[in-house]
Amino acid sequence: MTATETPVHGLLIDGEWRQGAGVLERRNPARPSELVARVATAGPDDVRAAYDAAAAAAPGWRRTPPPKRGEILFAAAALLAQRVDAIGEELSREEGKTLAEGRGEVARAVQILRWFAGEASQPLGDVLPSAGATTFVWSERAPLGVVCVITPWNFPVAIPIWKIAPALAFGNTVVWKPSELTPLCAVRVAQVLTEAGLPPGVLNVVHGLPSEIGDAVTGDERIAALTFTGSTATGRRIQRAVVGRGVKVQLELGGKNPVIVLDDADLEQAVEQTLRGAMMSSGQKCTATSRALVLPGIRDAFAQRLIDRVGALRVGDPLLERTQIGPLVSEGQRDRVVSYLDVAAQEGHELAVGGRDAAPDGDGWFVAPTVYRDVDPASRLGQEEVFGPVLGLIAVDSLEQAVEVANGTQYGLSASIFTRDIARAFAFVREVEAGMVHVNSETAGAEPQVPFGGSKASSSGSREQGKAAVAFFTETKTVYLDMPSS
Ligand code: NAD
């Protein structure tokens, strides 16, 4: 099939798949000559139509009994569960993570959908004591209205689901702008939800480049709340643009996540978990490990074992079962990560494995898994989010110094410690500035029932998933009820 014969997936507006102002082509990052999908792009008028539809659908959806909303989400979960292999493979083709990671992500999205489907039937309020003898007081959680959802490309199925599912379960309608780098995954997510029985207008999807539709997506006066996951710079810009209008905002942003390896750590566990945290998904995770802070007693053994393991990782076509590390998502991301390898060279960090010249041959957007030793924590490599398979080893002399270095960036998403000493693990938990803390496991990880999010520049301070989602996607309505006096 030639490019022009490949069908164009539409925008989802008011329950219809519509053509738009243009067409976006998405190519396989492992083989850029291979077309993965063609998707319609929205113009500002299409975005307005999406908000018209979301606003018109809001009263009906808000009045839909919550267990009925949950039934639709359970049906969507069942459909997605049937499509784990197919969508997982498309995800791998479109985003570049390995087949196992792609299928794993879709399977995780099924769990998230099921969890929020169940949440739709959970209690959403309290009965409160009143000073009035005949007054009955309760609080309940009411939907907000129209929610704008903006998502990145690195978890193109799971992150949209963990925003859209609670938004819908708690009675809001949605306009969703997915990443322009993963539009096919967005189409698949929207298909599952509409086929499950979502009424027209409750979920609307607008594809396109931020330069063309960004202002229309964030500028609509009818937005009650906006949830964004992406880079810190973009998130902060969007926040500035909407808070003046009273829009409730949730931002999940970048990270520079540290692991601390103490002398008494289980060496094998510390190496394997650090390797996974730093290199899986080609390091393109907000919770990826990018700094390993290692104490003297274990430093050489840890470095040697880790470097050997990183050097043995199989990089290549993510659709091959044997591949452990796929390409980066795009030429732009590849160039950005390579520019950090140049920064590392200029800053004089010692290259231990990988580097600019170690990428496999071929025309895909590959970067070899790379480790630097003796990284200066104050350097750019020690401070800035790289978002690729690049790890810096930093020498520290004590737990106190390790915590100081761990806390010494603008970010605070996740952090890990490897130790057998429970007292030192607790001291780390208490002192580290991070929204998510791990003891003896990698910095990445998220379960649907557990709050997810960061401190400092990694977040707007709110949390996603679990009960935290109720706090964001609803507002409290307090009710005082008194009986008529006669
Ligand atoms: P990005 O900020 O470039 O884009 C995120 C989304 O915002 C995309 O859909 C993009 O099209 C859209 N966007 C960009 N400018 C916009 C504008 N002006 N108006 C409206 N929409 C706009 O981020 P990305 O490259 O897609 O993702 C990578 C980043 O995401 C990394 O920094 C990573 O750390 C972060 N991330 C954070 C988390 C978390 O939960 N903390 C999770 C995943 C990714």
pLDDT at position 360: 84
Ligand 1 contact, 254 CB (< 6 A): yes
Cβ atoms 278, 288 nearer than 8 A: yes
Ligand 1 contact, 387 CB (< 6 A): yes
Ligand 1 contact, 152 CB (< 6 A): yes
Ligand 1 contact, 98 CB (< 6 A): no
pLDDT in tens, 6-28: 899 999 999 999 999 999 999 99
Residue 232 Cα to ligand 1 midpoint, Å, equals 8
Mean pLDDT, the chain, integer = 97
Residue 182 Cα to ligand 1 midpoint, Å, equals 12
Catalytic residue status for 252? yes
Residue 39 Cα to ligand 1 midpoint, Å, equals 19
Q: What is the mean pLDDT of residues 41-70?
A: 98
Residue nearest to atom 38 of ligand 1 (CA): 286
pLDDT band, very low/low/confident/very high, at 466 (cuts 50, 70, 90): very high
Looking from the CA of residue 459, the nearest atom of ligand 1 is 41
Q: In CATH, which superfamily holds the domain spanning 257-439?
A: Aldehyde Dehydrogenase; Chain A, domain 2 (3.40.309.10)
Catalytic residue, candidates 90, 101, 252, 464 = 252
pLDDT band, very low/low/confident/very high, at 1 (cuts 50, 70, 90): low
Catalytic residue, candidates 95, 101, 119, 286 = 286
pLDDT at position 6: 84
Q: What is the mean pLDDT of residues 472-477?
A: 98
Ligand 1 contact, 162 CB (< 6 A): no
Residue spans of the domains in the chain: they are 8-253+460-478, 257-439
pLDDT in tens, 134-173: 999 999 999 999 999 999 999 999 999 999 999 999 999 9
pLDDT in tens, 444-457: 988 999 999 999 99
Residue nearest to atom 42 of ligand 1 (CA): 286
Q: What is the largest distance, in Å, between two alpha-carbon atoms of the chain?
A: 87
Q: Which residues contact 122 (CB under 8 A, 6 or more apart)?
A: none
To test the ligand 1 pocket, which listed residue (154, 155, 182, 465) has its Cβ within 8 A of the most ligand atoms? Answer: 154
Q: What is the mean pLDDT of residues 354-368?
A: 91
Ligand 1 contact, 95 CB (< 6 A): no
**Percent of the chain clearing pLDDT 70 (strictly above):** 99
To test the ligand 1 pocket, which listed residue (150, 232, 334) has its Cβ within 8 A of the most ligand atoms? Answer: 150
Residue nearest to atom 30 of ligand 1 (CA): 230
Residue nearest to atom 4 of ligand 1 (CA): 230
Looking from the CA of residue 178, the nearest atom of ligand 1 is 9
5 pLDDT higher than 80: no
Ligand 1 contact, 151 CB (< 6 A): yes
pLDDT at position 55: 98
To test the ligand 1 pocket, which listed residue (229, 384, 455) has its Cβ within 8 A of the most ligand atoms? Answer: 229
pLDDT at position 343: 97
Residue nearest to atom 43 of ligand 1 (CA): 286
pLDDT band, very low/low/confident/very high, at 3 (cuts 50, 70, 90): low
To test the ligand 1 pocket, which listed residue (215, 220, 234) has its Cβ within 8 A of the most ligand atoms? Answer: 234
Residue nearest to atom 39 of ligand 1 (CA): 252
pLDDT at position 485: 84
Residue nearest to atom 9 of ligand 1 (CA): 179
Please, is 4 exposed, middle or buried when counting C-beta atoms within 10 Å of its C-beta (0-12, 13-18, 19+)? exposed
pLDDT band, very low/low/confident/very high, at 2 (cuts 50, 70, 90): low
Looking from the CA of residue 230, the nearest atom of ligand 1 is 30
Ligand 1 contact, 286 CB (< 6 A): yes
Taking domain 8-253+460-478, whether its CATH number is 3.40.605.10 is answered by: yes
Ligand 1 contact, 154 CB (< 6 A): yes
pLDDT in tens, 306-333: 999 999 999 999 999 999 999 999 999 9
405 pLDDT higher than 70: yes
Ligand 1 contact, 306 CB (< 6 A): no
Ligand 1 contact, 217 CB (< 6 A): yes
